[in-house]
A and B are shown apart, each in its own frame.
Chain A
Amino acid sequence: MSTTSDTQPRITSVEEVKAALGDRLVDSFHKDDLWLRVRTDAWKSSMRTLRDTLGFQYFCFLSAIDWMPSPYGRGEDDPTEPAPERDTTIRQGYAGGETRMQVFARVSNPVTHVSVVVKVDVPEDSLSIESIHDVFAGANWHERETHEMFGIAFDGHPDLRNMYLPIDFEGFPLRKDFPLLARMVKPWPGIVDVEPLPGDDAEVGGDE
């Protein structure tokens, strides 16, 4: 949440932001916080505009979302049964989207304390996007982590090594089609623990 104490500057800032981005802005969503989606080829220039023109100098983080629902569910399937049917439609969240993967970043204005989440679609064929490390120096490490976890390439990044995983690790762990191996080996029983709320009688909890 990044609201200032009175609402007037916030609304003005929202309009300002939309005006400054012009036609690079594809979609936006405003509910307490401001979400923007920009055109893929205008990613870097949008971030530069945000930083220079609108004063969003503070770089909070950058990461990605994989919108495909996991084919493994929550790792609670009985391995002896056939796998259940699961919904595999890709539905994006706030500010829409057209691709399975989206990169999103959050930047803030240290003076007015307004923040904005900027999303961008990652093209499915090339799975790469411009690097913004020369706009926000802190993006360097965040892009490295996103690359190793999702497999998204960042053009122009000087050093796209693995940050957390070993050098010879195969696969991209945070993608939904990469299973959580611990749950593959030993599925979770799937019984929800229910704690008695303060003041209630103790009840032992039920099933889903």
Chain B
Amino acid sequence: MSLTDRALGDRQQLSYIASQAADARLNVELETEGMTLNIGPQHPATHGTLRIIARLDGEQVVWAEPACGYMHRGYEKLTEVRTYPQVTTLVNRIDWLGSFANEVPFILAAEKLMEVEAPARAQHIRTILFELSRIANVSLFLGDLGVQLGAITPVFLAFRDREYVLNLIESATGGRFHPNFDRIGGLKDDLPAGWIDETRAVMKKLRGFCDQIEDLLFGNEIFQSRTRGIGVIPREVALQYGLSGANLRASGVDWDLRRDTQLPMAWNKADWKVWTHPDGDSFARCWIRLQETRESTKIVDQLLGSIPAGPVMAKVPKIIKVPEGEAWVSTENPLGEMGYYIVSRGDLGPFRVKIRSASFNNISITPWLLRGVYVPDIVTILASLYFILGDIDR
């Protein structure tokens, strides 16, 4: 395969050779059948019902392949029979841990077709809620990372501190997990009284949590030896498979959709940094997510101090008919790049919506990646790639 020859680093080449050797051992020397192990669909390590079919030679993987679809709900077909406001409810449930972030690209795409822009206040609050959903999502990832590797304590700290963020989201939108707050043209409601001060306090707590996790988990020698050098993804391979988010930045690609695309959101009104890492291994991916969480708290702090006054909803007709056309909007969601390609025919509802979810591409790299690694490394790699089943299976 030309891909492997061209784009492999040393370690990846070694593991590819190891898997070929394991294959040869299986077929030629020992004449023993390798063991086929099904990891999942019910398994503590997979974030949901993902099934990995792994062919093992002892503890080494000869090949492994994910079989998804256990959670396929047929979203793209469902959107064709719904009106635009109804699709928002549907779309919340794709990435259910950071659900506000799922609504935003869809709403922005519809607004783009209608040539309506939400007022500045709504854009600001949308950005704040978007970053809050990112913090909620990734803080669970940081705790879960510990559990996948055997450290059972950080996950409780993660859930405890995530509760504060969920309470904030609930007090603003009415829903902890599925806010359903975005509307075409703005937001459903304004913020409640006292929300800004409370959010500031919670951001401080989250920064403390990030420091705790960095000490407890990332500083641990065992964690480092389990994640450094494991699952190295070179830059070219990452781009070809369409990896996005922290996975891509961990391979050294400096690309963040918040900074590099122009959307009617408020990210350019805050001063923040894009984190990259040259290694491309599991440690890099995990480490970048930690830094991004901290960076998100800083973005929220800055935006809280500068919310403009005004309405939260633009003048849109009561019954929304989006004019004919096609639009694509993608945003830097907690899991990666999530985008919606809306084809509209001037109806009450879309003609076709293609949902580009980040985890689908992130997981498509696993057949290439999981060769020649050990069984525990499968769990490490999946944990570091970080996917949500609803995102893969839509």
**Direct A–B touching, Cβ under 8 Å:** yes
Residues of A within 8 A of B (CB): 1-5, 32-33, 35, 57-61, 63, 65-66, 69-70, 74-75, 93-94, 104, 106, 110, 113, 117, 134, 136-138, 140-141, 149, 162-165, 173-174, 180, 183, 188, 192-195, 197-199, 205, 208
With A1-B262, A113-B261 as known contacts, state yes or no: A137 contacts B325, CB within 8 Å.
no
CA distance A58 to B263 in the complex (A): 20
* Contact A117 B240, beta carbon cutoff 8 Å: no
A184 to chain B, nearest CB (A): 11
CA distance A106 to B354 in the complex (A): 12
With A113-B260, A137-B368, A163-B69 as known contacts, state yes or no: A61 contacts B356, CB within 8 Å.
yes
* Contact A66 B72, beta carbon cutoff 8 Å: no
B184 to chain A, nearest CB (A): 11
* Contact A192 B83, beta carbon cutoff 8 Å: yes
* Contact A174 B343, beta carbon cutoff 8 Å: no
* Contact B354 A63, beta carbon cutoff 8 Å: yes
Residues of A within 8 A of B270 (CB): none
* Contact B261 A2, beta carbon cutoff 8 Å: yes
Residues of A within 8 A of B351 (CB): 69
* Contact A138 B77, beta carbon cutoff 8 Å: no
Task: Check if B241 is an interface residue, CB within 8 A of chain A.
Answer: yes
A103 to chain B, nearest CB (A): 11
Count residues of chain B with CB under 8 A from any CB of chain A.
58
With A174-B77, A205-B318 as known contacts, state yes or no: A59 contacts B242, CB within 8 Å.
yes
CB nearest neighbor in A for B83: A192
Number of A-B contacts (CB under 8 A): 129
With A57-B239, A140-B364, A198-B312 as known contacts, state yes or no: A69 contacts B345, CB within 8 Å.
yes
* Contact A138 B263, beta carbon cutoff 8 Å: no
**Known interface pairs A33-B328, A58-B242, A63-B354; 12 further A-B residue pairs with C-beta atoms within 8 A, sorted by A's residue number:** A5-B262, A32-B112, A57-B236, A65-B343, A93-B343, A106-B356, A117-B341, A138-B242, A164-B393, A180-B74, A195-B188, A198-B311
* Contact B240 A106, beta carbon cutoff 8 Å: no
CA distance A65 to B76 in the complex (A): 11
Residues of B within 8 A of A149 (CB): 76
Residues of A within 8 A of B263 (CB): 1
B352 to chain A, nearest CB (A): 5
CA distance A2 to B259 in the complex (A): 11
* Contact A137 B241, beta carbon cutoff 8 Å: yes
B121 to chain A, nearest CB (A): 11
Residues of B within 8 A of A180 (CB): 74, 77-78, 80-81
* Contact A188 B81, beta carbon cutoff 8 Å: yes
* Contact B361 A138, beta carbon cutoff 8 Å: yes
Interface residues of B in 323-361 (CB under 8 A from A): 325-330, 337, 339, 341, 343, 345, 348-349, 351-352, 354, 356, 360-361
Can you name 21 A-B residue pairings with CB atoms under 8 Å?
Answer: A1-B262, A2-B261, A3-B262, A4-B260, A59-B240, A60-B337, A60-B356, A61-B242, A61-B356, A66-B352, A69-B351, A74-B81, A93-B343, A137-B3, A138-B240, A141-B361, A163-B69, A180-B78, A192-B83, A195-B85, A199-B311
